[in-house]
Structure 1
């Protein structure tokens, strides 16, 4: 019951998404737009704002988020900081890839996995939601008239949902907590096997590029209202004095962000809300300052940053990563305004723990490398892994971590699972360990 206010707050967030869709879009086009979203293959990059209109895109995001909340509630998934991650991810990617139809087979596959192991589904509910990163596979198989059908789509989706719980548990261990998007790495590995097999059986998937422009002012206003509102709520409506909320936020900024870092347990609601709002504004500022576009995919990236602001990301460890991506735009043979690079600018913050633990110069280096690696990491999977930056981040984390810790800094973090996060015990706050002066 410690975090019982998450559900009503999340429902208010869904209502805000619907309001954005109704105000900025055409209400009469919402239902036809939702049908168009369902009937579209969703390989990266498929911006629902572009193909179906801003109204349908945001209503889809609200509905997917409500479905996710219902699954978490019915499965009795323990509430914690990672719950906010799930809300941010599902809302964000429901603007470009996940919809109210293509997520179900994967969730069902994870449900079958839990039943086969004779365990409660609540233990795997969060995995089932995040595994929907491969929901474009379901859409492709169901809608490609020359190859698949809806029954094959359900079967393949169920296999994906069944395989990812054990796979993601393993990939979590080998990244040393330096890649926050662990499921993106696991989905990328699975997709590198699944896509070639599908191709050998006659499938011919292709990447997509649907990218909306011209919404910077409208979406910037609504996003600013949301972020400022969260900051105000953190300072004034979280049951703590303003000075205590500010002190908690300043202490939060001293953490490394290495996974798992449940800020809601470690610092409480006030600093976490402030952190979410500040990071949302930072993400939007980088997009606008570099001449980017606020649309479905970039807003999805900002929502993801905001979600992970309860679980590892803060201003001090994401800005160096983003600066590294911008630096890549100066020296590499691509433009910072390219759509894939704009997404790398936001989703590349999956490597924030490298910056937080080893220092900002290594964060800049990680962002610089990520800006190029991510442009090729999705090629073998034909855009089917929505968490492509998580796959790229995992590859970099596996390479960068031993090099820095063994050859350069001689610093190896200790496992934090017992200190920070336990999936079934959330009734008491966790006292963060002292910040190292090394």
Structure 2
């Protein structure tokens, strides 16, 4: 990505683009490719990728499914909402929490990394609320630190609500926390304005880059797995419910194969829907690939995609709109429901998810980047007990 960034724009253009990315409000949907250009966006993603991998390296954490999911999610959202300025207050808050509890930072770092879903809170407060910069920047940093401090204890409790059937548990947690923070800001007359800045210029280029990456992942997995696809069927036997770490259950080779296949499935969904590849869709595709090491596979994810697609055709929204497409991509957070209860429940879940996700964003004002995780927690919390109740009734 760093190389792609450097060949896509001049050094001056990249610096100007990074500046524009940093001062953008960053609430959903703010496509960094449209804001700062593709060169600066690649550099932003590369810097955050290197920084996060270095943190994990220094903490001596072994690469597993959670770590892969975390890292690729951060890289994906470096195209929409997370940048080299707004994530660090949340890390600081998480570190302070670990010090307060006298625990090693490595025990909470992955939760904190996912917690950067609230990074737009920092940018929006600093640059988007029409308050003086000398007030906005310190306030944004303080709110980011607060969010990072509380996200870990909150997330451990929130998983009980959806019983592990929503893979983006931090998105659900951040949705609730973000809704409270947004409500408080609104109480002081600080209104977060809706945002939709999207690009369409680099559709073909991004598809070629991603498809190449996913094919290479499959080849890598094939080699690591002893030049064989043997064992892949085992992946399909898991529901995907938290915690399902394919690196531990099936090995790295099979995990890489699954990641590559799921990446191609995600690209296919975008193409069938008639959408374009831009910042949000790249984020959605890379998040799917990351979580294909941690719960997602074709058998449990495709029913969700079908459900969202059917809802997009029959509901009032345009099936080829970026909002509907990413609702499908990120909606695979609910894949464990299809894995545990069958494809029909998966399709129904995806159908319901689209309507919910298109409405819950107004609660947190777009400061929670994992809006589908918020929606997924709500949908899972309703569907799981209902399905269980009917099963028991039988």
Query: Please, what TM-score do these two structures have when normalized by structure 1?
Result: 0.87
Judge which range, 195-204 or 97-106, deviates more.
195-204
Aligned to 2:95: 111
Distance 1:155 1:330 in 2: 43
* 1:26-78 Cα distance to aligned partner (Å, 9 max, x none): 55411111111111110100000011111111110111111111222223334
Aligned to 2:381: 398
5 Å-filtered alignment, 1:9-158, equals: 17-143=1-127, 144-146=129-131, 148-158=135-145
* 1:127-167 Cα distance to aligned partner (Å, 9 max, x none): 11111101111001112442642211121111101111100
* 1:176-198 Cα distance to aligned partner (Å, 9 max, x none): 11100000000001011110101
Aligned to 1:196: 183
Distance 2:103 2:278 in 1: 40
Query: Do the aligned residues in 2 keep the contact of 1:81 with 1:263 (CA within 8 Å)?
Result: yes
Q: CA deviation at 1:410?
A: 6.6
* 1:367-422 Cα distance to aligned partner (Å, 9 max, x none): 000111100011111111000000000000000000011224779xxxxxxxxxxx
Task: Find the partner of 1:369 among 336, 339, 352.
Answer: 352
Size of the alignment, in residue pairs? 391
Structure 1 spans left out of the alignment, 5+ residues: 1-16, 412-438
5 Å-filtered alignment, 1:370-389, equals: 370-389=353-372
Q: CA deviation at 1:25?
A: 4.4
5 Å-filtered alignment, 1:294-313, equals: 294-313=277-296
Change (3 A) 1:199 1:25: same
Distance 1:339 1:57 in 2: 18
Change (3 A) 1:35 1:319: same
Q: CA deviation at 1:20?
A: 2.9
Query: Do the aligned residues in 1 keep the contact of 2:161 with 2:377 (CA within 8 Å)?
Result: no
Give secondary structure in 2 for the equivalent of 1:344.
helix
Structure 2 spans left out of the alignment, 5+ residues: none
Give secondary structure in 1 for the equivalent of 2:274.
coil
Distance 2:11 2:300 in 1: 40
Q: Please, what is the CA RMSD of the aligned residues?
A: 1.4
Query: Do the aligned residues in 2 keep the contact of 1:287 with 1:293 (CA within 8 Å)?
Result: yes
Task: Find the partner of 2:334 among 348, 351, 354.
Answer: 351
Q: Larger % of helix: which? A: 2
Aligned to 1:251: 234
Query: Do the aligned residues in 1 keep the contact of 2:179 with 2:365 (CA within 8 Å)?
Result: no
Give secondary structure in 2 for the equivalent of 1:168.
helix
Distance 2:379 2:84 in 1: 33
Distance 2:360 2:226 in 1: 46
Instruction: Determine if the alignment matches structure 1 residue 211 to structure 2 residue 211.
Output: no
* 1:252-276 Cα distance to aligned partner (Å, 9 max, x none): 1111111100000111111000000
Judge which range, 44-53 or 167-176, deviates more.
167-176
5 Å-filtered alignment, 1:164-313, equals: 164-236=151-223, 238=224, 240-243=225-228, 246-313=229-296
Distance 1:216 1:286 in 2: 14
Q: CA deviation at 1:217?
A: 1.3
Query: Do the aligned residues in 2 keep the contact of 1:27 with 1:55 (CA within 8 Å)?
Result: no
Judge which range, 21-30 or 366-375, deviates more.
21-30
Query: Do the aligned residues in 1 keep the contact of 2:166 with 2:377 (CA within 8 Å)?
Result: yes
Change (3 A) 1:269 1:78: closer
Query: Do the aligned residues in 1 keep the contact of 2:300 with 2:335 (CA within 8 Å)?
Result: yes
Distance 2:142 2:61 in 1: 26
Query: Do the aligned residues in 2 keep the contact of 1:33 with 1:53 (CA within 8 Å)?
Result: yes
* 1:76-126 Cα distance to aligned partner (Å, 9 max, x none): 334311110111110000100000110011110010000001000000111
Query: Do the aligned residues in 2 keep the contact of 1:75 with 1:125 (CA within 8 Å)?
Result: no
Query: Please, what TM-score do these two structures have when normalized by structure 2?
Result: 0.96
Change (3 A) 1:207 1:409: farther
Distance 1:126 1:42 in 2: 22
